[in-house]
Chain A
Amino acid sequence: MTLKIAAKISSGLFVVDVHYEARPGITALFGPSGSGKSVSLAAVAGLLRPQSGTISFNEQQFANAEKSLHVRTQDRKIGMVSQNAALLSHLSPLENVAIALLNSHDRAQRQERASHWLGRVQAEHLAKLPTASLSGGEQQRVALARALAGAPQLLLLDEPFSALDQTSRIAVRSLIIELVAELKLTAIIVTHDLIDVAALANQLVLFEPGRTVASHELIRGQTAELARLVGLTI
């Protein structure tokens, strides 16, 4: 289950030329702000259309600009967690998770499955609380449960830790490692933090402004090798 992207994508402000493959496990997109990491993720999610090139996952083409092919976001069967958890404050955390099951389960099953996923991210106790009262870390757990509840094979993580304190960050990071391995997902994470890359990723894609420049295999936790790859001296 490999994501392949070879496309030029316009964010509206700039164009990014993206070439990489993401295999099962966690692929980190690393590079300076404005280099196009989140833009490439938005295109994978179907929120942006490539100007040229293709995006495919597991032999299914998501987009092919030359053939004017663009699979709707709803039909890509992906999960996504963003910097802003994007939870609906008029729904409870449980209901926020349950919306990912709206088309596949009846009401009782939805409640049960949503409860299950909240449990998997250690957030079952939050189920009925007012969503607006949750901390950043709690909101990201709920967002992660929603992303996984739809049984995606591809998980997109766009700076999911940037609003979290250190404790929440470590906890959510561990959860992601555990769940991606257990569910055999292909996950792509956009991050500015090398510690996130070192802790999470088994593949690294480096971005420069407007393009991807390199792709490397990583062994999780090998920070010295990682530092060498991104040009740091430690």
Chain B
Amino acid sequence: MTSWFPLWLSLRVSAMATIFASVAGIAVAYVLAKGRFRFRSLIEAVVTLPIVLPPTVLGYYLLTLLGVNSPIGKSWERIFGAPLVFTQTAAVIAASISALPYVVRTARAAIESVDARLEAAARIAGLSEWQVARVVTFPVAARGIGAGVALGFARALGDFGATVMVAGNIPNRTQTLPIAVYDAVQSGDLDAARVGSFVLGAIAVIVLLIVTQISGRKL
């Protein structure tokens, strides 16, 4: 690791991935918490997969899904004139997928824990389902949802396996900090590995402190 580029890229990729994972994750969490429909368990299982799959396996599936020979990869290349894989966009997608289950599971638990009597009172007061969600459910669940978003950010920042499979390890282009730490160790640059590990560790501790703070618990 010879520059701050990996840290800057990691922060940028994680921030974008957190936005995507949060928007999709909170919506999915709401549907799973409130909806009663067929295939709910299937959706839940698919969303949870990135937690239980080995990161490299997740990366492999993403590579298969987004690669130059896949329908998505071909469409992307036709529209943008360049392949999707081995780009920063691919890194954002990998980090988003890795972060998604953390957002969904934490946000869903928070939404399910909202007192049903508060939501019923709002319906009786004439609020539509969307208004109940906006005025009651999301504000009351905000701390739990915030904790999920913070965990998602930490997961996106630390992603290695899926990112290296779909975005590669191209210095100054797609090399995020976790990959740079691995690269530094492989090349014997232990000082760089130490600095990178310390920075990632410090960010992880800060995020955990934020999560415990907004969840109302102490470590």
A residues contacting B by CB (< 8 A) are 45-47, 72-74, 76-80, 82, 84, 86, 88, 90-91, 99-100, 102-104, 143, 146-147, 149-150
Contact A73/B123 with A88-B136, A88-B140, A102-B131 known, Cβ cut-off 8 Å: yes
Contact A88/B139 with A82-B117, A102-B131 known, Cβ cut-off 8 Å: yes
Cβ contact within 8 Å between A74 and B123: yes
Give CA–CA (A104, B118) in the complex, Å. 21
B residues contacting A by CB (< 8 A) are 115, 117-118, 120-128, 131, 135-136, 139-140, 142
Contact A45/B118 with A88-B135, A88-B139, A90-B139 known, Cβ cut-off 8 Å: no
Picked from A47, A77, A90, A150, the residue with its CB within 8 Å of the CB of B120 is A47
Cβ contact within 8 Å between B127 and A99: yes
Cβ contact within 8 Å between B127 and A86: no
Give CA–CA (A125, B131) in the complex, Å. 27
Which A residues are CB-close (under 8 A) to B140?
88, 90
Cβ contact within 8 Å between B117 and A77: no
A-B contact pairs, 21 of them (CB 8 A): A45-B120, A45-B124, A73-B123, A74-B128, A77-B126, A79-B125, A82-B117, A86-B118, A86-B120, A88-B118, A88-B122, A90-B142, A99-B122, A99-B135, A102-B125, A102-B127, A103-B127, A143-B121, A149-B125, A150-B125, A150-B126
Q: How far is the CB of A150 from chain B (nearest CB, A)?
A: 5
Give CA–CA (A100, B128) in the complex, Å. 11
Residue of A nearest to B119 (CB): A86
Which A residues are CB-close (under 8 A) to B127?
74, 99, 102-103
Give CA–CA (A90, B135) in the complex, Å. 10
Contact A80/B126 with A88-B139, A90-B140, A102-B135 known, Cβ cut-off 8 Å: no
Residue of A nearest to B139 (CB): A90
Q: How far is the CB of A44 from chain B (nearest CB, A)?
A: 11
Which A residues are CB-close (under 8 A) to B122?
88, 99
Which A residues are CB-close (under 8 A) to B131?
102-103
Give CA–CA (A91, B128) in the complex, Å. 18
- 8 new A-B contacts, CB < 8 A, other than A80-B121, A99-B135, are A47-B123, A74-B126, A86-B117, A88-B135, A90-B140, A100-B125, A103-B128, A149-B125
Q: How far is the CB of A86 from chain B (nearest CB, A)?
A: 4
Which A residues are CB-close (under 8 A) to B142?
90
Which B residues are CB-close (under 8 A) to A104?
126
Residue of A nearest to B129 (CB): A74
Which B residues are CB-close (under 8 A) to A73?
120, 123-124
Give CA–CA (A46, B126) in the complex, Å. 12
Nearest first, the 4 A-B pairs at minimum CB distance are A86-B121, A100-B125, A73-B123, A80-B124
Give CA–CA (A104, B128) in the complex, Å. 13
Which A residues are CB-close (under 8 A) to B115?
86
Give CA–CA (A171, B181) in the complex, Å. 69
Give CA–CA (A78, B131) in the complex, Å. 17
Contact A146/B125 with A88-B140, A102-B135 known, Cβ cut-off 8 Å: yes
Cβ contact within 8 Å between A102 and B126: yes
Q: How far is the CB of A185 from chain B (nearest CB, A)?
A: 15
Picked from A84, A90, A91, A103, the residue with its CB within 8 Å of the CB of B126 is A103
Which A residues are CB-close (under 8 A) to B128?
74, 103
Which B residues are CB-close (under 8 A) to A147?
124-125
Q: How far is the CB of A196 from chain B (nearest CB, A)?
A: 21
Which A residues are CB-close (under 8 A) to B135?
88, 91, 99, 102
Q: How far is the CB of A114 from chain B (nearest CB, A)?
A: 12
Q: How far is the CB of B125 from chain A (nearest CB, A)?
A: 4
Q: How far is the CB of A158 from chain B (nearest CB, A)?
A: 10
Give CA–CA (A222, B131) in the complex, Å. 45
Q: How far is the CB of A27 from chain B (nearest CB, A)?
A: 18
Give CA–CA (A82, B118) in the complex, Å. 11
Q: How far is the CB of B127 from chain A (nearest CB, A)?
A: 6
Which A residues are CB-close (under 8 A) to B123?
46-47, 72-74
Q: How far is the CB of A130 from chain B (nearest CB, A)?
A: 15
